[in-house]
């Protein structure tokens, strides 16, 4: 019996030693600690960001409709011009010569008409004479037919001469018009933005109209042509507030309003954007054409809205936490009344037991950092999980004596199988 008792005590001692080693010296899992943020009430402003270019509301490119050498320029960069003011001249000598030639051709055509009329009158008299003689049988019927044919030919020749006069008149008018085009005038009141030619330069209008000046009508009223992506264009309507910045004035924000949303798509490398025109006042002329604007368009604004951090909607518990029993971190979320479960989003809030619980909520507008809650069981003051705290481990040489020599410590709190 004594040997049997000693053997049992020995087995128990080995078991206790093994259990103690496993408990004190084996690896332990660090408990999960969650970062939380409160559900707050405040303002949310939904903003769409885009880039654009500052342009004058009206800008006209002034060109030449005739080919020739630039004889003189009467405007330069930043020149203020009036409507119909002469801004440039093309060498008029070739067009003046063409005008004179066309005038001579017209005079020649008119002389041909006079000759044709005289010939037609002569043929008419001859016809009348033979028609009177045929009654007295002094001439034959053949003579009458010849006279009729000659008269009709003279009438036709007169019609041809008159048509030649009209043609020559048209050529003269075209030559005179080309001559007037050698004097280039400003079509509007405005300021010269750019000048693209020099005196003595030859310009050609054979293919397209060459541009000489670009004139902006009014620089005190500008517009921003912003490229808005197709994903954000649905919230763009006329009259919405717009704020933008330019690199020339860092830290300063300019204000404007949407004046037009153009329906024509802009496709660049399969990326579709739309031109949103923003009206801007520029009374001090600080904004220059061509500046790049960083635009923020206010799509929607909500005051005193219940909002949650966007990080709470992106958070997903670890797989071990999701495997916890229902009602804990792995409990299935239940949609509150009035929440569309198909379109609902999931957040995790801290429950009474200290563990996160999944809840469904209906989201509204977002400003990139917070999202409006328009339905669900979250209320102001609830704490939602936004992430995990970094795990810390303690080395065995930092533990009190008798707590094992493993590289991980035992949990200080409850071990929930994590």
- Contacts for 356-361: CB closer than 8 Å, 24+ residues apart: 356/34, 356/317, 356/321, 356/329, 356/385, 357/327, 357/328, 357/329, 357/331, 358/331, 358/332, 358/333, 359/333, 359/334, 360/333, 360/334, 360/335, 360/336, 361/308, 361/336
Bigger pLDDT: 324 or 284? 284
pLDDT in tens, 163-200: 999 999 999 999 999 999 999 999 999 999 999 999 99
Chain centre distance of CA 350: 44
Give the confidence band of 325 by pLDDT, cuts at 50, 70, 90: very low
Phi, psi dihedral angles at 305 (to 5 degrees): -100, 145
First to last CA, the chain: 45
Bigger pLDDT: 260 or 399? 260
- Per-residue pLDDT at 398 exceeds 50: no
- Per-residue pLDDT at 283 exceeds 70: yes
- Per-residue pLDDT at 14 exceeds 90: no
Mean pLDDT of the 289-296 span: 95
Measured CA to CA in angstroms, residue 194 lies from 60, 206, 235, 289 at distances of 11, 23, 36, 11
Residue with tokens 């005196």: 199
Dihedral (C-alpha) 40, 359, 318, 409: value to the nearest 10 degrees?
70
Dihedral (C-alpha) 39, 45, 49, 54: value to the nearest 10 degrees?
-160
Mean pLDDT of the chain: 83
- Per-residue pLDDT at 99 exceeds 90: yes
- Per-residue pLDDT at 113 exceeds 80: yes
Give the confidence band of 353 by pLDDT, cuts at 50, 70, 90: confident
Cβ atoms within 10 A of the Cβ of 20, count?
13
Strand bridging mode 292-309 / 40-56:
antiparallel
For every residue of 380-418, DSSP letters joined together read TT-EEEEEEPPP----GGGSPTTS-S-SSPPPSS-----
Bigger pLDDT: 304 or 397? 304
Measured CA to CA in angstroms, residue 99 lies from 68, 91, 92, 106, 147 at distances of 15, 14, 10, 11, 42
Please report the pLDDT score of residue 334 as a whole number: 53
- Per-residue pLDDT at 413 exceeds 50: no
Chain centre distance of CA 183: 38
pLDDT in tens, 24-57: 554 555 567 888 888 889 889 889 999 999 999 9
CB 146 within 8 A of CB 139: no
Mean pLDDT of the 297-309 span: 89
CB 194 within 8 A of CB 290: no
Cα 306 to Cα 268: distance, rounded to the nearest angstrom: 40
Please report the pLDDT score of residue 16 as a whole number: 66
Percent of the chain with pLDDT over 70: 80
Give the confidence band of 316 by pLDDT, cuts at 50, 70, 90: confident
Bigger pLDDT: 162 or 329? 162
Please report the pLDDT score of residue 351 as a whole number: 73
Q: Which two tokens stand for residue 237?
A: 């309507």
pLDDT in tens, 224-247: 999 999 999 988 999 999 999 999
- Per-residue pLDDT at 331 exceeds 60: no
Cα 83 to Cα 298: distance, rounded to the nearest angstrom: 39
């Amino acid at each position: 019996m004594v040997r049997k008792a000693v053997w049992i005590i020995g087995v128990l001692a080995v078991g206790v030693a093994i259990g103690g080693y496993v408990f004190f010296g084996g690896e332990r899992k660090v408990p999960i600690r969650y970062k939380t943020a409160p559900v707050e009430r405040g303002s949310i402003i939904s903003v769409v960001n885009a880039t654009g270019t500052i342009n004058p509301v009206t800008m006209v490119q002034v060109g030449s409709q005739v080919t020739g050498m630039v004889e003189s320029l009467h405007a330069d960069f930043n020149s203020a011009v009036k409507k119909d003011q002469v801004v440039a001249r093309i060498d008029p000598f070739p067009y003046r010569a063409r005008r004179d030639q066309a005038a001579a051709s017209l005079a020649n055509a008119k002389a041909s008409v006079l000759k044709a009329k005289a010939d037609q009158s002569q043929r008419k008299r001859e016809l009348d004479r033979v028609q009177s003689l045929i009654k007295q049988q002094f001439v034959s019927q053949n003579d009458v037919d010849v006279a009729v044919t000659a008269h009709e030919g003279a009438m036709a020749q007169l019609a041809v001469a008159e048509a030649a006069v009209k043609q020559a008149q048209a050529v003269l008018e075209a030559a005179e018009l080309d001559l007037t085009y050698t004097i280039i005038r400003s079509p509007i009141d405005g300021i010269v933005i750019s000048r693209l030619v020099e005196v003595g330069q030859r310009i050609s209008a054979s293919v397209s109209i060459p541009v000489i000046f670009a004139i902006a009508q009014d620089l005190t009223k500008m517009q921003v042509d912003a490229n808005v992506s197709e994903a954000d264009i649905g919230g763009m309507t006329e009259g919405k507030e717009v704020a933008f910045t330019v690199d020339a004035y860092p830290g300063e924000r300019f204000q404007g309003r949407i004046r037009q949303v153009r329906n024509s798509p802009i496709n660049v490398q399969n990326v579709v954007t739309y031109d949103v025109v923003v009206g801007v006042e520029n009374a001090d002329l600080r904004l220059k054409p061509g500046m790049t604007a960083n635009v923020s368009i206010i799509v929607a604004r909500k005051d005193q809205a219940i909002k949650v951090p966007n990080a709470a909607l992106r958070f997903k518990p670890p797989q071990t936490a999701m495997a916890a029993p229902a009602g804990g971190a792995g409990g299935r979320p239940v949609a509150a009344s009035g929440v569309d479960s198909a379109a609902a989003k999931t957040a995790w809030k801290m429950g009474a037991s200290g563990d996160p619980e999944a809840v469904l909520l209906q989201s509204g507008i977002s400003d990139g950092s917070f999202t409006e809650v328009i339905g669900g069981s979250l209320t102001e003051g609830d704490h939602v999980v936004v992430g995990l705290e970094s795990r810390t481990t303690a080395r065995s040489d930092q533990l009190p004596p008798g707590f094992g020599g493993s590289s991980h410590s035992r949990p200080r709190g409850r071990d929930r199988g994590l």
